[in-house]
């Protein structure tokens, strides 16, 4: 029996007798075990075939409240577990993630549709966050100053918050949860994850592996659900902090609600990522890297490059001609076939939306150079596929430029100068990622200094920060003060406490002092 069969057989076994025997019901992971009872449920699709493959249980407020209580009960013992022991759970977890990578990628492929090689990349990026979390004994050491006053020593500790929650999107079913909970847990918190209801299985499998790694029951719980579960978390008085990743309208709602109920919150939202192509750029390299950055994962990445800003018509014409040629070779289809470059979109509704954006660009005067609207994947004609699409002569007023498309669509804007290109980027409401292609160090330095975007690449199309930096955009791509993971993650999941201490000896007795204490 391979790992996946074991997981399907044991972890998802259907305990709801009212459920048809053939449909798998994906439940929750609570107090170290799977719970599948639910009043409400929702279909989970195989996006490559367009068929319903499973169902997911949707937690109600009562269930969320029970889970918060369970996590609260687990907190004191976990908080007081020595940090080296908490880190050892992460060491073991990393090993289990690597050993079971295929199972995880399979689960991601079944529900999200991304090709196995892309799922492996996502998982590896997630594992790097677990590796960073293994350094907790070092990064939680705190700060110490001896003799801040006569016989007085002072230190700062970074204490866990308590019960914290994460709400994650469909497009990275493993990586985005791994941005959050390894750090939260290793810092001594208990964590409740509410994954996307569109791709829920990977989160349950992560929970299973964490249990195998030795995590005590109740420290990490997964509740599947929709708005009801999210609202229950947002309004629960015992939840101390919420990390959210998803679309901007929901991120705004989460941030506003969480902070109004006194919670710490970081809410990462949507994006519109531009690449400036300077006339001196290595055009062949630009074309190759744009293909992956625009169409990889079907464009369903918050760091996908969706707008190429060409400086001058000559650059635009050459890039478009080469892209057009290369795009004929791109293959899309089912996740298991690794000769495919990308897979389907997540749902029929999303496919309709992407097609509507392409149509709106056409209606508003843009030129469709390569049209993927009616493209079909051979053998998967009912899947939620849109083929790679290239649109020229886009302008800033167009709907398809102003909004996030989140599909395999690359739009080209023609401008005359780099200043004009930077103005476009700085004026856009999103500020997640951007990139400049150039051989000119002075231009690159000017760009990195002055562009109003949180993550910037120089000849690097997807400048996703590594796990020991932190991830976050500017403007309406992030709500909150701290970025996700890395050093900002440590600060987000801990609370500083500063202790100032003196042990008076028989010889030293303090005189009465009514002025503010100073060392003068």
**Residue closer to ligand NAD (CB basis): 3 or 399:** 399
Minimum CB separation of residue 432 from ligand NAD in Å reads 6
Active site residue 302: yes
- Are 188 and 164 in contact, with CB atoms under 8 Å apart? no
Residue ranges in 2-100 assigned as alpha helix (H): 3-6, 61-79, 83-99
**List of residues 6+ apart from 470 with CB closer than 8 A:** 482, 483, 484, 485, 486, 487, 488, 489
**SS3 label, residue 152:** strand
- Are 217 and 211 in contact, with CB atoms under 8 Å apart? yes
**Residue closer to ligand NAD (CB basis): 250 or 316:** 250
**Residue closer to ligand NAD (CB basis): 247 or 448:** 247
Minimum CB separation of residue 273 from ligand NAD in Å reads 10
**Residue closer to ligand NAD (CB basis): 100 or 168:** 168
Backbone angles phi, psi at 15, to 5 degrees: -100, 0
**Residue closer to ligand NAD (CB basis): 383 or 431:** 431
**Residue closer to ligand NAD (CB basis): 298 or 438:** 298
**Residue closer to ligand NAD (CB basis): 222 or 287:** 222
Rounded Cα–Cα distance for residues 388 and 411 (Å)? 11
Minimum CB separation of residue 407 from ligand NAD in Å reads 11
Beta strand pairing call for 220-222 and 455-458? unpaired
- Are 305 and 287 in contact, with CB atoms under 8 Å apart? no
**Residue closer to ligand NAD (CB basis): 243 or 340:** 243
- Are 297 and 118 in contact, with CB atoms under 8 Å apart? yes
Q: From its phi and psi, is residue 220 left (phi > 0), alpha (psi between -120 and 50) or beta?
A: beta
Minimum CB separation of residue 250 from ligand NAD in Å reads 4
C-alpha 316 chain-centroid distance = 32
- Are 380 and 49 in contact, with CB atoms under 8 Å apart? yes
The single residue of 116, 134, 187, 302 carrying the catalytic annotation is: 302
Minimum CB separation of residue 470 from ligand NAD in Å reads 11
Minimum CB separation of residue 405 from ligand NAD in Å reads 10
**Does the CA dihedral 147-153-154-160 come out positive or negative?**
positive
Minimum CB separation of residue 350 from ligand NAD in Å reads 8
Binding site for ligand NAD (CB under 6 A): 167-172, 176, 194, 196-197, 226-227, 230, 245-247, 250, 268-271, 302, 404, 406, 432, 473, 477
**Terminal CA-CA length for the chain:** 74
Residue number of the CB atom closest to ligand NAD: 246
Question: Which of the 8 DSSP states describes residue 458?
Answer: E
Residue ranges in 153-266 assigned as alpha helix (H): 175-186, 201-212, 227-235, 248-260
**List of residues 6+ apart from 204 with CB closer than 8 A:** 11, 12, 26, 27, 28, 29, 34, 222
Rounded Cα–Cα distance for residues 177 and 174 (Å)? 6
Minimum CB separation of residue 518 from ligand NAD in Å reads 46
Q: Which residues are catalytic?
A: 302
């Amino acid at each position: 029996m391979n790992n996946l069969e074991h997981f399907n057989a044991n972890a998802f076994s259907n305990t709801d007798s009212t459920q048809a025997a053939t449909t798998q019901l994906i439940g929750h992971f609570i107090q170290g075990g799977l719970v599948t009872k639910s009043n409400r449920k929702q279909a989970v699709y195989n996006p490559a075939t367009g068929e319903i493959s499973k169902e997911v249980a949707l937690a109600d407020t009562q269930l969320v409240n029970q889970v918060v209580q369970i996590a609260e009960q687990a907190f004191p013992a976990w908080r007081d577990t020595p940090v080296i022991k908490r880190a050892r759970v992460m060491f073991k977890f990393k090993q289990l993630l690597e050993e079971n990578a295929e199972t995880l990628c399979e689960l991601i492929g079944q529900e999200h549709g991304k090709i196995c090689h892309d799922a492996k990349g996502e998982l590896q990026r997630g594992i790097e966050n677990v590796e960073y979390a293994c350094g907790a004994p070092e990064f939680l050491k705190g700060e110490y100053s001896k003799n801040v006053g006569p016989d007085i020593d002072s230190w700062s500790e970074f204490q866990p918050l308590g019960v914290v929650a994460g709400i994650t999107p469909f497009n990275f079913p493993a990586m985005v949860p791994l941005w959050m909970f390894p750090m939260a847990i290793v810092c001594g918190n208990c964590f409740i994850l509410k994954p996307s209801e569109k791709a829920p299985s990977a989160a349950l499998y992560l929970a299973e592996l964490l249990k195998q790694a030795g995590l005590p029951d109740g420290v990490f719980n997964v509740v599947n659900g929709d708005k009801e579960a999210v609202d229950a978390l947002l309004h629960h008085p015992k939840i101390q902090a919420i990390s959210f990743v998803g679309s901007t309208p929901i991120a705004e709602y989460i941030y506003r609600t969480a902070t109004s109920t006194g919670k710490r919150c970081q809410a990462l939202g949507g994006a519109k990522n531009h690449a400036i192509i300077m006339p001196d750029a290595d055009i062949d390299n630009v074309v190759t890297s744009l293909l992956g950055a625009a169409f990889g994962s079907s464009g369903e990445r918050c760091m996908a490059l969706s707008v190429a800003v060409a400086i001058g018509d000559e650059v635009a014409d050459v890039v478009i001609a080469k892209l057009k040629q290369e795009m004929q070779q791109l293959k899309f289809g089912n996740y298991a076939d690794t000769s495919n470059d990308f897979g389907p979109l997540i749902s029929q509704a999303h496919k309709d939306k992407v097609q509507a954006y392409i149509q709106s660009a056409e209606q508003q005067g843009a030129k469709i150079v390569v049209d993927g609207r009616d493209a079909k994947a051979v053998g998967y004609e009912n899947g939620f596929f849109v083929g790679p699409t290239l649109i020229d002569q886009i302008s800033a007023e167009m709907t398809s430029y102003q909004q996030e498309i989140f599909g395999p669509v690359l739009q080209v804007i023609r401008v005359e100068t780099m200043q004009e290109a930077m103005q476009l980027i700085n004026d856009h409401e999103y500020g997640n990622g951007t990139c400049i292609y150039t051989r000119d160090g002075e231009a690159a330095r000017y760009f990195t200094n002055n562009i109003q975007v949180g993550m910037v690449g120089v000849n690097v199309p997807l400048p996703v920060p590594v796990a020991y930096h932190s991830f976050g955009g500017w403007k309406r791509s992030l709500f909150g003060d701290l970025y996700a993971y890395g050093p900002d993650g440590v600060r987000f999941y801990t609370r500083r406490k500063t202790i100032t201490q003196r042990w008076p000896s028989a010889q030293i007795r303090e005189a009465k002092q009514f002025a503010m204490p100073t060392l003068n």
